[in-house]
Amino acid sequence: MAIRPILSYPDPRLRECARPVEVVDDSIRELVSDMAETMYDAPGVGLAANQVGVPLRIFIIDIADEDSPSDLRVFINPEIMDADGTQSWQEGCLSFPGVSEEVKRAERVRVRALNEQGEAFELEADGLRAVAIQYENDHLNGVLMIDKFNALKRRKIGRQVAKAVEAQI
């Protein structure tokens, strides 16, 4: 397992659409393991493979509370089958350090994917789990949180990210 560097906005690789995973093998399981270590170290509740520079259709989420056991979920080649309702959630992103904004998303989703063993599953989710699934799936399609806002808010977020990245250097 290894902690991988997380790409920060405006890295152009964040805009690339991820490719489907052809075969779930040991190299994919190693990537998933590295992604989990990276996400927990950051810390975050979700991470897409393209955020660590790997343009494959993989994301992970873990929405467990700090005091609860891990609830890591792996989604390989995810497909959102259904979405309904509306909810607003304060969202942050590991690729947008220091930024947190309210975003409207579907309240419930149904997703189909493969797990790290290559087994197909479907999951119905609501609340934070539904938000995390939609958010990370957006990443796989090159859609970023900044795309959800008007031009003024995008400039403001761009400045926030630049300051946060500069502070990390």
Contact 14, 50 (CB under 8 A): yes
Write down the catalytic residue from 37, 119, 136, 166: 136
- Give the whole-angstrom CA distance, residue 121 versus residue 117: 11
Could you give the CA distance from residue 62 to residue 52 in angstroms, rounded to a whole number? 17
Burial level of 166, CB count in 10 A (0-12/13-18/19+)? exposed
d(CA 48, CA 52): 7
Residue 106 neighbours by CB distance under 10 Å: 18
Active-site residue flag, 166: no
Among all residues, which ones are annotated catalytic? Answer: 136
